């Protein structure tokens, strides 16, 4: 992977694409203060260097009937690396789980689970999650509403390259 030294223009491109991944190269180049061809070259270089890992659409869950979001705190009986990896592999197979984070502290993993309703979550909990090998316990927290869902990371456009 080629290393790219990020300057103000690169950080501006990253910030703008993070906010709107469908922004045209022309609009992106104007916002960055450069012409379109070098802007496109910079985007490609940022992709090749691994700063941009993909693009996606934000889908409104309720339009598809997904009305329940639950954050499940998972504790395992063993934190041996193979047991952690086995749990992570299992989690990747569950489409209901949209995010999985390994944590330090009492909770080993935090899962973001999206289902159509509370009954569907209960079915997921009892047929998939709790029967999982090495599971000690689960604490479920129902999300009432989401106030902020900012993608990516905070990028300081005018600051120094934080990745060095």
Dump pLDDT digits (tens) for 114-144: 999 999 999 999 999 999 999 999 999 999 9
Whether 108 and 39 map to the same domain: the answer is no
Q: How many domains does the chain have?
A: 2
Q: Look at residue 18 and give its three-state secondary structure.
A: helix
Whether 38 and 17 map to the same domain: the answer is yes
Whether 111 and 133 map to the same domain: the answer is yes
Q: How far is CA 67 from CA 131, 138, 164, in A?
A: 25, 21, 42
Query: pLDDT band at residue 163, thresholds of 50, 70 and 90?
Result: very low
Using CB atoms within 10 Å of the CB of residue 112, give its burial: 0 to 12 exposed, 13 to 18 middle, 19+ buried: middle
Angstrom distance (rounded) from CA 140 to CA 122: 10
Angstrom distance (rounded) from CA 61 to CA 82: 34
CATH of residue 36: 1.10.10.10
Global pTM value: 0.85
Angstrom distance (rounded) from CA 135 to CA 90: 12
Residue 21 belongs to a domain = yes
Closest CA to 100 of 119, 82, 113, 81: 113
Whether 71 and 131 map to the same domain: the answer is yes
Angstrom distance (rounded) from CA 148 to CA 121: 23
Q: Look at residue 47 and give its three-state secondary structure.
A: helix
Whether 135 and 65 map to the same domain: the answer is yes
E strand or H helix at 81, and its extent? helix 81-92
Enclosing domain of residue 24: 8-48
Dump pLDDT digits (tens) for 16-58: 999 999 999 999 999 999 999 999 999 999 999 999 999 999 9
Angstrom distance (rounded) from CA 97 to CA 143: 14
Write the CB contacts of 132 (distance below 8 Å, at least 6 apart in sequence). Answer: 87, 90
Whether 67 and 121 map to the same domain: the answer is yes
């Amino acid at each position: 992977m080629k290393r790219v030294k990020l300057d103000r223009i690169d950080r501006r491109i990253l910030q703008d694409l993070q906010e709107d991944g469908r922004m045209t190269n022309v609009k992106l180049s104007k916002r960055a203060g450069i012409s379109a061809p070098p802007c496109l070259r910079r985007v490609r270089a940022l992709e090749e260097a691994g700063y941009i890992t993909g693009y996606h659409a934000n889908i409104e869950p309720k339009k598809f009937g997904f009305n329940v979001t639950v954050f499940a705190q998972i504790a395992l009986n063993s934190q041996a690396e193979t047991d952690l990896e086995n749990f992570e592999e299992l989690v990747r197979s569950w489409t209901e789980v949209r995010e999985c984070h390994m944590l330090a502290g009492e909770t080993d993993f935090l899962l973001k689970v999206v289902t159509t309703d509370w009954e569907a979550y209960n079915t997921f909990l009892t047929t998939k999650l709790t029967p999982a090998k090495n599971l000690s316990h689960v604490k479920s927290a129902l999300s009432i509403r989401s106030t902020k869902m900012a993608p990516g990371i905070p990028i300081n456009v005018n600051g120094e390259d934080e990745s060095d």
